Amino acid sequence: MKRIRTIKAVKYITPLREGGSLPAIIEGDDEALYAMKFKGAGQGKKALIAELIAGEIARYLGFNVPEIVFVELNPVIGRTEPDPEIQDLLKASAGLNIALRYLSQASSFNLFVSPKLSVEFASRLVWFDAFVTNIDRTPKNVNMLIQNNKIWLIDHGASLIFHHNWNDHLQQSCNPFKMIRDHVLLPLSRDIHAIDKMIKRQFDDITFRKIVDSIPNEWLEPNQLFTHAQQLKDAYVEYLSYRLENSSIFVEEANRARTNLV
């Protein structure tokens, strides 16, 4: 895993109003454009953590994910923005946020356009989204883009449902994730059992640890169970490891849901 870069936002360009949390296109001090997500938005810092963890797991699995960067935000960059809601969002998000490299030439994914999907790709993606409990890969909200004839995965902030309630996080790791029934590629995921066996040989605690350790400590908010940032990081690794160990639960649920589509 490459070290995640930190950039500074130097220009607020435009809000991406199709996103409920009002992400925006910004320019970084490296002169590149990014789709930025704000810690002051609805789901707060946990959405940024989910974006980071799920996005980097997807990258490790071989999916195309736009580069993820940390973004230092000075709210003054939005001083010309007339919308008071956006002004408030920028003020609430001063400091470190997250962004993905903006794919300016991308179009939304469509099953009927190139590239044609394989059963293997669909099975891997269904497995991944069930693993990270991603609710946002439905026909109405595919969160996949096509650029240069490649499929890119975006927007994983709604993943890792468990961390909104840390009680019994290990028990939650065995969640079958019934919402996989709504996955846009579920009908094609006929090889998910084989994919499960292959992926379980790829991952180990060291990989999860490298990803989780990249979470900025300032995003980790203490709770009654975990009072220090390192305890929370350990709990994330523990959850991911247990979920991988018990992957048969969500794999069986995905297969059951696919069979019920017929």
Residue 206 lies in a domain: yes
- Identify whether residues 87 and 187 lie together within a single domain: no
- Identify whether residues 201 and 216 lie together within a single domain: yes
Q: pLDDT, tens digit, for every residue of 10-54?
A: 999 999 866 556 899 999 999 999 999 999 998 899 999 999 999
Q: How many residues are present in the chain?
A: 262
DSSP state of 226: -
- Identify whether residues 74 and 126 lie together within a single domain: no
Instruction: At 73, give phi and psi (nearest 5°).
Output: -115, 125
- Identify whether residues 133 and 211 lie together within a single domain: yes
Residue 147 lies in a domain: no
Residue 39 lies in a domain: yes
Top pLDDT among 212 and 108 is at: 212
Q: pLDDT, tens digit, for every residue of 64-97?
A: 999 999 999 999 998 888 888 899 999 999 999 9
Residue 168 contacts residue 241 (beta carbons within 8 Å): no
The total number of structural domains in the chain stands at: 2
Tell me which amino acid residue 170 is: L
- Identify whether residues 76 and 136 lie together within a single domain: no
Residue 148 lies in a domain: no
Q: pLDDT, tens digit, for every residue of 42-53?
A: 889 999 999 999
Task: Provide the domain limits for residue 67.
Answer: 6-101
189 pLDDT above the threshold of 80: yes
Tell me which amino acid residue 147 is: Q
- Residue 120 burial by Cβ neighbours in a 10 Å radius (0-12, 13-18, 19+): middle
* Closest C-alpha to 66, from 4, 159, 23: 4
- Identify whether residues 19 and 63 lie together within a single domain: yes
Q: How many Å apart are CA 185 and CA 191, to the nearest integer? A: 12
